[in-house]
Amino acid sequence: MSMAPLRHLLVTGGAGFIGSAFVRQRLAAEPDLRITVLDKLTYAGSLENLAEITDSRRLAFIQGDICDRAAVDRAAKDVDAIVNFAAESHVDRSLLEAGEFVQTDVYGTHVLLEAARRYQHRRFLQVSTDEVYGHVASGRSAEADRLEPRSPYSATKAGAEMLVHAYRQSFAVPTLVTRGSNTYGPYQFPEKIISLFITNALQDLPLPIYGDGSAVRDYLYVDDHVDAIATVLNNGEPGSVYNVGAGAEVSGVTVADTVLEFCGKPASLKQFVKDRPGHDYRYALDVERIRPLGWESRVSFRDGMRLTVDWYKKHDAWWRRRKEADFWKYYRRNYQGLPSGAIPQ
């Protein structure tokens, strides 16, 4: 028997990249749905990402921290379910400073789980990542595999999952977990490989490829990812974990070549730089479990890249506002020893 529709969702981190895509897609797809967004608006979040939504009666926004119990209580008391996107999300930043990751990704998830327990929500969906499996030398990760996170970021996401599991076991909170693969598309902060490489190419700046560029990821177009999250939220089995991936294996060099092709820029912009410490060279997912729920990825890597490059070309002001002084401070710290010309003067 299928569940009565969820009418009011609390979407944490809904002003970020994937969260805002989820909010835009669900409000358009479900005319009776209301969404409250709780977002701290860190460097990665912005109300600009929700500006396309004109039906303001169905969307409420609260600026607040998921670690703040009072703010979470206020946001969570009238909803049917929480979908938790809020997180510090970039591996390289976690290698520079991991404290905020532990705080938001682990402690913040605990505060949200407490609210779900107290208000007896009908669902709690934790948006997790395939990075919790760690580097996968061969084969594909299935949901029952061991979690072997290797970066501070993936360790905090795995820690959050352990809490989700504990709240299911101890307090029967109706939890769901999605482990999505590397996601790309419009509105992604220009720090992850695809959004960084596209915007660097449009600025005629070098594309910094770690090591020899052979590390592979399973890139997933953002609309496919949020569609999977909605599918699991509405049709998933409480207590379950679902991998979400496109099944493609794309190397860093292929990302760079594809960006340069679609941006019409020369191969000379490729620049091989010092490798990331503890680099996970391969993630690969088995996605058989989610298929019976009726989800599959629809957008191929090349089609998704074409759509994404077009979006960044048309939204020059959006990404330029994100590549200002603080961004270049981070960039200099992360990509040490870059030659002059790698950073705008």
254-265 as b/e, with b when 16 or more CB fall inside 10 Å?
bbbebbbebbeb
Smaller CB separation from ligand NAD, 15 or 59: 15
Residues 89-128 that bind ligand NAD (CB under 6 A): 89, 104, 108, 127
Mapped onto helix, strand or coil, the DSSP state of residue 334 is helix
Instruction: Between 41 and 142, name the residue whose CB sits nearer to ligand NAD.
Output: 41
Which is closer to ligand TYD, CB of 210 or CB of 311? Answer: 210
Which residues form the catalytic set?
130-131, 153
Examine residue 192 and tell whether it contacts ligand TYD (CB under 6 A). yes
Q: How far is the CB of 5 from ligand NAD (least distance, A)?
A: 24
Query: Are 134 and 150 a contacting pair, CB within 8 Å?
Result: yes
CB 297 within 8 A of CB 221: yes
State the Rg of the chain over Cα. Answer: 19
- Cβ-contact 17, 44 below 8 angstroms: yes
Closer by beta carbon to ligand TYD, 119 or else 330: 330
Residues 81, 9: contact at Cβ < 8 Å?
Answer: yes
Q: Are strands 250-251 and 216-217 parallel, antiparallel or unpaired?
A: antiparallel
Site for ligand NAD in 171-230 (CB under 6 A): 180, 182-183, 189
Pick what 87 binds: ligand TYD, ligand NAD, none; C-beta below 5 to 8 Å, kind-dependent: ligand NAD
Q: Give the C-alpha separation, 319 to 18, whole Å.
A: 16
The residues binding ligand NAD (CB under 6 A) are 12-13, 15-19, 39-42, 44-45, 65-67, 85-89, 104, 108, 127, 129, 157, 180, 182-183, 189
The residues binding ligand TYD (CB under 6 A) are 91-92, 131, 182, 192-193, 196, 208-210, 215, 217, 252, 276
